[in-house]
Chain A
Amino acid sequence: MASLKLEHVKKVYDKNVVAVHDFNLEIKDKEFIVFVGPSGCGKSTTLRMIAGLEDISDGTLTIGDRVVNDVEPKDRDIAMVFQNYALYPHITVYENMAFSLRLRKMDNEEVHRRVCQAAEILGITEYLARKPKNLSGGQRQRVAIGRAIVREPQVFLMDEPLSNLDAKLRNQMRAEIILLRKRIDTTFIYVTHDQTEAMTLGDRIVIMKDGYIQQVGTPQEVFETPRNLFVAGFIGSPQMNFLKAKLVKAAGGYQAELYGLKVPLSEEKCALLAKHGAGSQDVILGVRPEHTQLVFDRADNTIEGVLRVNEMMGSELHLHVDLKDGTSVILRIPTLELTEDQRRSLTYGNTLRFTFPERVTQLFDPKSEESLLY
């Protein structure tokens, strides 16, 4: 159990390729941090620097109150779970889990106690005598986690541990990691490219792109107040809709205008806009698919579009709609809210109208792509 501090951490590969720029983050003791981002964003590199598998080109990394830049991985008191499990194929599950303890010259009885305890937590007791090749993917991943928890490390690193599993198993293991986290209360750093995993697991999420941190915050913060276009688009599924809009400054405050829809902005938003010094200008208005509402009974103050695709997801419909300038928008409408007639009218080529509440809109500067409401 320990806190971590990364100050101006930078990773430069040969030929001056910079993988991570100026990474600053403080991770509290017993916190579950998730690094998330598209592939190549530097999240795994950062994790590997924390693990000591990659050199840190610049900056300092502190675990507890010790600067560990030049400390060998084995002396950092960390454990790591790899995406491809990395089990030792020539020894049994028991010996796999005991490996690190035996290297520490731990007493046989103590080794046995810890291995059995970890095996019990993960439900792999009956496989202890098997070799890894005789296990299924999920079981192997459990062994990999077991190998990490017997160590009782200060920091627990996980590098996309679920991405090799099939969808069903992944959901199950995700739930188990949440439970595991409750049982072994320690600092976790978890890397994933899957925003669902990030949202469900993390106390705080670090969203990265091209080696830069885009935003750090709790799942709710990054969902509700994304700092820029990238974060807004990355978090949430289906992706947030981005619509071109005009910001009009009036005496009372601001108003956004788009496709014939006028959205007067709340006082709170106006204050933020004023703080940013926004005038009458072009903006990008973001609205999540699940926050849209279909309008059937009126034509004024709505956005009009042509339905292209209607995806029936069971409890909800995903409607892909083309606006008149060609912008594609996705609407996520709960099935229960529609009458039979309304549902039948939602066929290919039909025109429909929708709107959304002012409360959920996001506004971004089209040039800097930064949020105007942050």
Chain B
Amino acid sequence: MTNNTSAASGAPVKLRSKKGHERRTNGAIYTVLTVMSIVWLVPFVFLVLQSFRSYKLEKGGMVDYLLPKHFSLDNYAFLFEGSNFFSWCGRALLAALACAVVTALLVHAAGKWLDGRDAAGRGARVGAIGGCLAAGFVVLMALAAALQGFSLAANLVRVACTLIAFLLLGWVIARVYLKQDSKLLRSIPGYVVEDKHEGAKKLIAMMAEFLVLAVLVQYVLKPMEMSQYVRWYVNTLTIALFTSVIQTAIVLSVSYALSRLRFKGRKLIMNTVLVLGLFPGFLTMITLYFLLKQMGLTQAGAVPGLILIYCASSGMGYYISKGFFDTIPKSLDESARIDGATRFQVFLKIIMPLAKPIVIYTILMAFMAPWGDYVFASYVAFGHQNGYNVAVGLYNWVNTNDFQNYFTRFCAGGVLVAVPITALFLALQKYYVEGVTGGAVKG
């Protein structure tokens, strides 16, 4: 652009000097970036390389060479030692596959049975199918439990879990079948299905749902035997998943309310929260510890305790998403309300799809904070190894145990911690840049 304008004004000398200036600036920027990226990358490369140095063959915490002499997976093997992690995961996957196949057949059969009936008839029949399935499954589970001699409480949990799991199943059937009005859509002249991969997406979504379901059922039927590391990993994952779900729900609803509703004290709340947010969270550490202890949520109860802590002040993080909601035209809300939607339906069906980037952002942030937290996790679980999260556990290896011996295993643990976060970022990064409000209003 700048080149064009200067060329048009007929000043070639100026043009050359401008270009030279640009090149110099770019050169400086790239040099700085290269140096900084080396500084940033070196520790990570070091960590990854160390994690492949066998703790059996090449002993010692710090060694004077970078590349390990024998590349081995000993450190990783140690992390899973004493755990049936892989066979357990395999079984869950198999169960998920079996579920998916059975459901696909069921949906096909149900489709034939339901075809040509009106909405109410179909609803009733889908309900009947789901009900029969759920009931049958509960009976089977109870039988299995009786044979294995579990306690009553465990049985109740199992029954509840499977019931939830199979409600999910019924929902999948309903969703896959009842929403298929593409026959109607195709009768519109010139209608082209926009998303060619719709079928594949539906299938993947179904698989994912069954995976979750299978893990749940597996977990209830036969909990995984865990090594120390796997235990910490599962702890961290549980905390992070629950926190991200709860926190996202709270943050988004608070921001939506503050963005759209006008009520007394709205400004006051926003300002108070802003000022409160300026205080570091650690200030409340001691108080929080005693409060949690009163409720029995420290040490052995560290996982629910930590979820409580992380979710407690989540509404205070409303600022960014409120800013985003403010950019969605209010007339969309109004139009939907006149169209017959309740406030909640507006939020769910209009605002949420439009706010996808900010929803993704909120989920990521809510997941990452507990995933990498050390401070709260260390004192809530204080001294109780089964309540540690990964950060605290790994730190304890190199701190209280033998640093020389455990360092490479610590590195391996660290690499595995980075895996889910990296995957999450890669999968979701496109939503960061994607704007979806185009065409809503004039513009």
A interface list, Cβ under 8 A from B:
51-53, 72-74, 78-80, 82-92, 94, 99-100, 103-105, 107-109, 112, 116, 125-126, 128-129, 131-135, 137, 140, 147, 151, 164
Contacts and interface: CB of A to CB of B under 8 A. Distances in A.
B340 A74 contact: yes
Contact of B439 (A52, A100, A134): A134
Contacts of A87: 439-441
18 contacts: A72-B342, A73-B337, A86-B332, A86-B440, A86-B441, A88-B332, A90-B354, A103-B345, A104-B340, A107-B119, A112-B184, A125-B190, A126-B190, A132-B438, A132-B440, A137-B442, A140-B439, A151-B339
A88 B350 contact: yes
Contact of B334 (A82, A90, A104, A129): A82
B184 A129 contact: no
A160 to B, nearest CB: 12
B441 A85 contact: yes
A83 B345 CA distance: 23
Contact of A89 (B187, B349, B436): B436
Interface of B: 118-119, 181, 184-185, 187-194, 329, 331-332, 334-342, 345, 349-350, 353-354, 436-442
A88 B436 CA distance: 10
Contacts of B332: 86, 88
A336 B380 CA distance: 95
A120 to B, nearest CB: 11
B335 A86 contact: yes
Nearest to B353: A90
A132 B184 contact: no
Given A84-B441, A89-B438, A125-B190, 19 more contacts: A53-B334, A73-B334, A73-B338, A74-B342, A80-B334, A80-B338, A87-B441, A88-B336, A89-B354, A89-B439, A90-B353, A107-B119, A108-B181, A116-B188, A126-B189, A129-B191, A132-B438, A135-B439, A151-B339
Nearest to A78: B338
A147 B339 contact: yes
User: Top 7 A-B pairs ranked by shortest CB distance?
Assistant: A133-B439, A132-B439, A84-B441, A100-B339, A133-B438, A86-B335, A86-B331
A108 B180 CA distance: 10
B190 to A, nearest CB: 5
B interface: dominant SS? loop
Contacts of A134: 439
A80 to B, nearest CB: 5
A74 B337 contact: yes
Nearest to B438: A133
B338 A51 contact: yes
Nearest to A105: B119
Given A84-B329, A85-B441, A85-B442, A103 B341 contact: yes
A87 B329 CA distance: 10
A147 B332 CA distance: 13
A103 B440 contact: no
A34 to B, nearest CB: 20
B436 A90 contact: yes
A236 to B, nearest CB: 29
Contact of A129 (B194, B437, B439): B194
A81 to B, nearest CB: 9
Most interface-central of B329, B340, B440 (chain A CB within 10 A): B340
Contacts of B191: 128-129
Contacts of B335: 80, 82, 86, 88, 147
A131 B337 CA distance: 21
B339 A99 contact: yes
A131 B338 contact: no
Contacts of A109: 184
B270 to A, nearest CB: 17
Contacts of A104: 340
B326 to A, nearest CB: 16
B329 A86 contact: yes
Contacts of B181: 108, 112
Contacts of B437: 89
Nearest to B342: A74
Most interface-central of A85, A133, A134 (chain B CB within 10 A): A85
A72 B192 CA distance: 37
A373 B336 CA distance: 47
B188 A125 contact: yes
A92 B188 CA distance: 13
Contacts of A151: 339
Contacts of B193: 129
Contact of B340 (A84, A85, A86, A100): A100
A53 B439 contact: no
B123 to A, nearest CB: 10
B428 to A, nearest CB: 18
B188 A128 contact: yes
Most interface-central of A91, A129, A132, A135 (chain B CB within 10 A): A129
Contacts of A100: 339-340
A103 B194 contact: no
Nearest to A106: B119
B346 to A, nearest CB: 10
Nearest to A134: B439
B188 A84 contact: no
A143 to B, nearest CB: 10
Nearest to A85: B441
A74 B338 CA distance: 5
A107 B118 contact: yes
Contacts of A129: 185, 188, 190-194
A108 B438 contact: no
Contacts of A84: 329, 331, 441-442
Contact of B336 (A79, A99, A107, A137): A99
A159 to B, nearest CB: 9
Nearest to B328: A89
Contacts of B119: 105, 107-108
Most interface-central of B332, B354, B436 (chain A CB within 10 A): B332
Nearest to B191: A129
Contact of B341 (A74, A82, A131): A74
Contacts of B337: 52-53, 72-74
Contacts of A103: 339-341, 345
A180 B267 CA distance: 45
B114 to A, nearest CB: 13
A89 to B, nearest CB: 4
B189 A125 contact: yes
Contacts of B441: 84-87
Contacts of A88: 332, 335-336, 350, 440
A73 B336 CA distance: 10
B391 to A, nearest CB: 39
Nearest to B439: A133
A366 to B, nearest CB: 43
